[in-house]
Copies of this chain bind each other. A is one copy, B any other.
């Protein structure tokens, strides 16, 4: 559904591709751009730097995701974006997107749905960061990403491709990497989930849901 923004045929037509390596900065806050960028392959994340060198990861980006939805309406990035794995990007001129929005009401609704969904995700995450414990935060993040991964990939054997390092989890849920490590240890001991080697293996989905769900 997110991928609808990108016209797949554009790949062949105009070679608007760009490759970035794992860890590379894709865009930085305040940077201007007249293109909307879409993740073609690989993962990335949006983040905000805070003064003391720490950072908050705002959203992980999966293949098909719009790197910065703000850029549909604004001409500069509101946050920085970094590649989590090696990745490929496509650029779509904002002008063309705006023209299509003006021409096609249903396309406007597609864009609006993406923005609304992202905003809702952010607001749920606010509740998670503001009100929930370390275990609950991490479980929530897992469930959230599992849902998004499942939308693209068939999941076999309760194993999810999951390229995050413990430090990324820490930066996303507002904990230290050391504490994330301990919580992952607890999950492993309790037989809830195991994360290793870039694979998230869900052993007890019910329990994970119980801990991490907001409902």
Contacts and interface: CB of A to CB of B under 8 A. Distances in A.
A130 B56 contact: yes
Interface in A69-84: 69-70, 72-74, 78-79
A102 B46 CA distance: 31
B54 A131 contact: yes
A33 to B, nearest CB: 15
Copies of this protein chain in the complex: 2
Interface size class, chain A:
35 or more
Interface string A101-114: 11001001100110
A146 interface: no
A131 B56 contact: yes
A10 B29 CA distance: 40
Contacts of A108: 101, 108
Interface string A168-196: 00011110000000000000000000000
B120 A78 contact: yes
